[in-house]
């Protein structure tokens, strides 16, 4: 996927609720590329160069593990933010 | 979506006036982003100027574009650093380093007093510079290949080709003259080692040329 496509994809998936700012996306992509998490290649599309990003083949396992860790973290947050958690709290 | 040449010029001028670019890849990426963004906006019924301003603001304006360029420079440095480590690890294990050190020691110590010291020292400097230049060109070239940088790749290709096919054989002549004064055993060993270095570099360059230059990664769609 190329940069603009990623922004649009996130917007579409979340029905516009979540937006990746383009100004923040490219530095993040370049940073991940520098760390070897992503690989890129360029293609000429309609006469202009377009840069496509993909998860590095040796980093796919890391990406799966990382997203699973984020999901775990969100689950923990949901438990913490559950109203029943607060009802059990006693204030002295 | 087809843009008129004036509209293309307007986009390029906006991109160029926002920051200076050390890497043309960033400029190309931003241009593609602008064209994609403008195309989307125009599909929603916005005019070209409105679309351009909208996309520009989405990118964070001038500040955002400077940040993208700075991020790319940082990424390149990180990649370069990682590649340097990998390169050093490869080369310290390599036979070429042993040959280079052996040659340098032979010339510096000058055990047979074959050459007066200043000439020996000069030889060390010349050989050292050539070996260093060759290694650096080779490294930059491979680094450019790893980064997928088409422009840098082409530039560095010239440097490494010049070294492999012109400078290295030129330096081999004084080196052969120098070692020819020694015993047959040393002459044979050092000259074969030198030949090995030259051949190895040449073969490597042909291999990389085929992979990175004759078959570039940029594909036409």
Contact B21, B27 (CB under 8 A): yes
Q: Cβ contact (<8 Å) for A48 and B150? A: no
Query: What's the CA gap between A24 and A13, in Å, rounded?
Result: 19
pLDDT classification of B220: cutoffs 50, 70, 90: very low
Residues of B with CB under 8 A from a CB of A: 25, 28-29, 31-33, 35-37, 40, 58-60, 63-65, 67-68, 70-72, 74-79, 82, 148, 150, 217-221
CA-based nearest distance B32→chain A, Å: 6
- Output the pTM of the full model: 0.54
Whether residue A21 lies within 8 A of chain B, CB to CB, comes out as yes
**Geometric angle at alpha carbon B114, from B112 and B117, rounded to 5°:** 100
Query: What's the CA gap between B221 and A85, in Å, rounded?
Result: 56
- CB contacts of B58 in chain A (<8 Å) are 21-23
**Closest-CA residue to B65 (of A24, A31, A11, A48):** A24
Among candidates A4, A35, A43 on the partner chain, residue whose Cβ is nearest the Cβ of B219: A43
Question: Of all residues in chain B, what percent carry a pLDDT higher than 70?
Answer: 36
Q: Where are the domains of chain A?
A: 3-87
A82 vs B217, higher pLDDT: A82
Among candidates A22, A34, A43 on the partner chain, residue whose Cβ is nearest the Cβ of B218: A43
ipTM over cut 0.95: no
pLDDT in the model for residue B214: 45
B2 vs A45, higher pLDDT: A45
B34 vs B117, higher pLDDT: B34
Q: What is the DSSP letter of A2?
A: B
| Chain centroid offset of residue B31 CA | 25
Whether residue A11 lies within 8 A of chain B, CB to CB, comes out as no
pLDDT in the model for residue A53: 92
- Find the range with the poorest average confidence among A57-66, B37-46, B104-113, B152-161: B152-161
Q: Cβ contact (<8 Å) for A26 and B75? A: no
Interface test with A, best of B15, B43, B68 (most A CBs within 10 A): B68
B181 vs B45, higher pLDDT: B45
pLDDT in the model for residue A28: 86
CATH architecture for residues A3-87: Orthogonal Bundle (1.10)
Q: Cβ contact (<8 Å) for A4 and B36? A: yes
Ranked by mean pLDDT, the top range of A80-84, B7-11, B20-24, B110-114 is B7-11
The structure tokens 């070897």 sit at A36
HSE (side-chain half, CA atoms, 13 Å) at B95: 11
Q: Which residue of B has its CA nearest to A6?
A: B33
- CB contacts of A35 in chain B (<8 Å) are 78
Whether residue A52 lies within 8 A of chain B, CB to CB, comes out as no
pLDDT in the model for residue B132: 58
Among candidates B28, B63, B64 on the partner chain, residue whose Cβ is nearest the Cβ of A49: B28
Among candidates A27, A43, A46 on the partner chain, residue whose Cβ is nearest the Cβ of B68: A27
A56 vs B99, higher pLDDT: A56
B110 pLDDT higher than 60 = no
Alpha helices by DSSP H, B59-149: 61-92, 95-109, 117-147
Average pLDDT over residues B143-155: 49
Among candidates B64, B65, B74 on the partner chain, residue whose Cβ is nearest the Cβ of A34: B74
Query: What's the CA gap between B162 and B164, in Å, rounded?
Result: 6
Average pLDDT for chain A: 83
| B66-82: pLDDT as tens digits | 888 888 887 777 776 77
């Amino acid at each position: 996927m190329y940069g603009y496509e990623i922004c649009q994809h996130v917007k579409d998936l979340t029905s516009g609720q979540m937006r990746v700012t383009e100004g923040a996306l490219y530095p993040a992509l370049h940073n991940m590329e520098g760390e070897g998490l992503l690989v890129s290649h360029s293609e000429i599309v309609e006469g202009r160069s377009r840069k496509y990003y993909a998860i590095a083949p040796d980093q796919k396992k890391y990406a799966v593990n990382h997203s699973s860790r984020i999901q775990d973290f969100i689950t923990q947050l949901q438990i913490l933010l559950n109203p029943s958690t607060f009802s059990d709290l006693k204030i002295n | 979506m087809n843009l008129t040449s004036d509209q293309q010029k307007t986009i390029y001028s906006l991109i160029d006036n926002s920051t200076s670019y050390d890497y043309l890849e960033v400029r190309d990426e931003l241009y593609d982003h602008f064209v994609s963004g403008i195309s989307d906006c125009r599909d929603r019924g916005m005019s070209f100027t409105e679309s351009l301003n909208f996309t520009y603001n989405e990118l964070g304006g001038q500040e955002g574009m400077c940040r993208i360029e700075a991020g790319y420079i940082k990424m390149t440095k990180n990649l370069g650093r990682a590649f340097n480590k990998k390169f050093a690890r490869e080369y310290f294990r390599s036979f070429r380093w042993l040959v280079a050190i052996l040659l340098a020691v032979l010339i510096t110590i000058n055990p047979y007093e074959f050459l007066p010291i200043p000439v020996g020292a000069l030889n060390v400097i010349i050989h050292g510079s050539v070996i260093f230049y060759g290694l650096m060109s080779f490294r930059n070239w491979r680094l450019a290949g790893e980064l997928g940088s088409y422009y840098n790749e082409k530039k560095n290709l010239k440097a490494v080709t010049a070294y492999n096919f012109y400078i290295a054989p030129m330096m081999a002549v004084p080196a052969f003259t120098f070692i020819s004064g020694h015993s047959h055993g040393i002459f044979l060993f050092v000259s074969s080692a030198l030949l090995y270095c030259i051949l190895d570099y040449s073969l490597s360059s042909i291999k990389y040329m085929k992979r990175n230059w004759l078959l570039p990664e940029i594909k036409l769609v």
